[in-house]
Amino acid sequence: MTASLPTLHRESNPLLTVMRAAGRAGVAVLLWGKPGIGKSSLLAGLAEAEGLPMETVIASLREPADFAGLPVVQDTGVELAAPAWATRLSKANEGYLFLDELTTAPPAVQAAALRVVLDRVVGDLTLSRGVRIVAAANPPEQAADGWDLAAPMANRFLHIDHEPSTDDWIDGMTTGFQLPASGRVLDYSPVLRAASRAQVASFIRTRPDLLHMLPREDAASGRAWPSHRTWTMTADVLAFLDPGDTPSTLLATTGLVGEGAATEYIAWRALNDLPDPADVLADPASVPWENLEPSRAWATLTAVTAYATADGTKTGWLSAWAPLAVAATAGLQERRRARTGERYRGTSLDE
């Protein structure tokens, strides 16, 4: 559903943009902020603007069975019945599930909520991809009986710090509290997702040390950190963002893999802007293959292959070979030999 969001300021707000992109990508969002700043009101306004239902579940008031399901004896055995809020969202087929006060939920409740956040499963009920999951939490030091998020739970969220400015509050008091404008969010495209994943994979190929870095401190492991999962989530969310929207791109990447890894990835991406896969397929020789760094050439060819084969046809598969052949002929293999000093066995393309 495409919604026209009301605007309070002329400039778009990266927070709203990233929340909408994450929702389309099926990635759960966790809003961090002090008590009383309007986290729940923000989400309620977003749901209303998009014309979607919203179900609020206060995690601190729930038991593990409220997420894992309530056992009910049937003639065929025991079923795990989903609570009413999950049933309503399932019938609506889309909407927002708001998990409030997540850090005040005890570890047993957080553990039960893991499957809801990652797999969208509540009891024996599976929520559709149209259900967006957003949670809110106060920093443990500011929450009554607060707990640090366990690393497995934290690694399932896109973390965003939400702290409205004094000017935002004054504007709201004098002109009415409304949602800021949202930036452009793209429609789902398997081609864009494949290209985004190829670009992230190319970066990790050059920086494998950033693939998985679990912090040693509990506080840090309860926020964003790089893992196999969060890098995949990063690629999927970025596929819904305008590549030119740097603030939203940085916010999304930081919220998933942490500030350090995100900064390095954004800098690498800026220096390794890839050509349009369609242009490369139309004229493989238009790319100066002999001058490309191996990592950039690999990323380009991976993106082109993903683009060409996205429709699953024989024609697309065959067309992907042309750029590969042109790149190889341009001497990429020989250039890599010269740089690494490796000796390869076999014949060249010219033999």
pLDDT tens string 136-151? 998 867 666 677 888 9
Name residues whose C-beta falls within 8 Å of residue 252's C-beta, 6 or more positions apart in sequence. 18, 21, 22, 158, 234, 237, 238, 241
306: pLDDT strictly greater than 80: no
12-265, CATH topology level = Rossmann fold (3.40.50)
The mean pLDDT value of the chain amounts to 84
**Whole-angstrom Cα Rg for the chain:** 23
Rounded-to-integer distance, Cα 332 and Cα 289, Å: 7
> 3-state DSSP call for residue 274?
coil
Query: Side chain identity at 156, as an amino acid letter?
Result: R
Mean pLDDT, to the nearest integer, of 230-238?
98
pLDDT in tens, 1-59: 334 343 333 456 899 999 999 999 999 999 998 888 888 888 998 999 999 999 999 98
- Residue from 232, 235, 227 nearest 211 by CA: 227
Please give the pLDDT value at position 10.
40
Q: To 5 degrees, how large is the angle CA 51–CA 57–CA 61?
A: 160
More confidently predicted of 161 and 2: 161
Rounded-to-integer distance, Cα 251 and Cα 233, Å: 13
Lowest-confidence pick of 100-104, 157-161, 209-213: 100-104
- According to DSSP, the residues that pair with 99 across neighbouring strands are 57, 135
Please give the pLDDT value at position 1.
38
Helices 190-206 and 228-238: crossing angle, nearest 10°? 140
The stretches of the chain forming alpha helices (DSSP H) are 14-25, 39-49, 65-68, 84-92, 107-119, 151-154, 166-175, 190-206, 218-221, 228-238, 246-257, 259-271, 277-282, 294-308, 314-319, 321-329, 332-340
164: pLDDT strictly greater than 50: yes
> 3-state DSSP call for residue 167?
helix
Please give the pLDDT value at position 348.
44
Please give the pLDDT value at position 349.
41
pLDDT in tens, 236-276: 999 999 988 999 999 999 999 999 999 999 998 887 777 77
**pTM to 2 decimal places:** 0.79
Rounded-to-integer distance, Cα 223 and Cα 139, Å: 10
pLDDT in tens, 92-130: 999 999 999 888 888 889 888 888 998 899 998 999 999
Please give the pLDDT value at position 159.
97
Domain with CATH 3.40.50.300 in the chain: 12-265
64: pLDDT strictly greater than 80: yes
With the C-alpha atoms ordered 209, 220, 57, 95, is the resulting torsion angle positive or negative? negative
Tokens of 297: 């050439």
Reported as a pLDDT band with limits 50, 70 and 90, residue 231 is very high
pLDDT in tens, 165-209: 777 777 777 776 667 678 889 999 888 888 899 889 989 988 999
> 3-state DSSP call for residue 108?
helix
